[in-house]
Structure 1
Amino acid sequence: MVGDAVRRLWSEVLTPSERTEGGYVWATIGLGHVMLGAALQGLLGASAAAARLGVAAAYWLLKERKDLTRGGGWRDGLVDAALVGVGAFYTGPRWWPVAVFVTISVGAAIKEMKTR
C-alpha cells in the first residue's frame, strides 16, 4: 500500500507539468521545487553562491533535461530549476520566506493570466 503510494508520487514528480494547470497548482508545484532546493542545499552543505547555483544546474541536468524527451518545455524546465535555485539560497528565517512567497505569488498570478 505504501509502496504503491510512493510509486504514484514519483510517477507524478517525473511527469512534466501541463500547460493548462492553474495558478494554485503551479504555485504548489513551485513550492515543492523551492523546498527541494533548500533540502539539497542543506544536505550538500553548499554555502558559496556558485555551489548554490550548482544545485540548480545539477537539478536541471538530472531532471529537467530528461523531461524535454517526455514532452516537457524549455521554459517550464528553466523555471523549475530557478525555483530549486531560490531554495538553495535558504539561509535563515528572515528574508527567505518572504522572497519565496513573493516569487511564488508573482509566478502564480502570471500563470493564472495565461490560462484565461
Structure 2
Amino acid sequence: MKALLDLKSNINFTVKEIQDLHDIHHSLDVIKTTVMSLCRRDSNLLTADAALQFMLNKLDHQHNELSERLAISLRKIIKERRTSVSGILQYLHNNEQFYKTIPTETFTTNAEN
C-alpha cells in the first residue's frame, strides 16, 4: 500500500481486497514459521510433528476462508504421508500427554471429527 502511495498510483483496493491480502499474509507467515522449524538442523520427527500441529492449530484459529482451505489441504497431505512411527515416538517421549491429546485428531479434517 505504502509503495503505491509513494508512486502516486491510481490503483485503489477495496476493503475486501485489503482483507484478502491481510489473510494471505497471516496464513503464509504461519507456514513460513513452520517450514523454518522443519528445516532446522536439529529437527527430528518429534519436533516436525509438533511444528505441523502448531501450524494447523494456528490456521484453524485464523477463521478465514483461505486458512480453512489451507488447513484442509495440509491435513489431507499429512494424513496420506503419516506413519505410525510418529505416534510411537510421541508415546515414548511422554505417554501421559499422549493419552490426553490423541495426536492423530489434529491431522484429521473437521468433517472427519
Give TM-score, length-normalised by structure 1.
0.30
Higher relative contact order (CA closer than 8 Å, sequence separation 6+): 1
Give TM-score, length-normalised by structure 2.
0.30
Choose 1 or 2 for highest CA Rg: 2
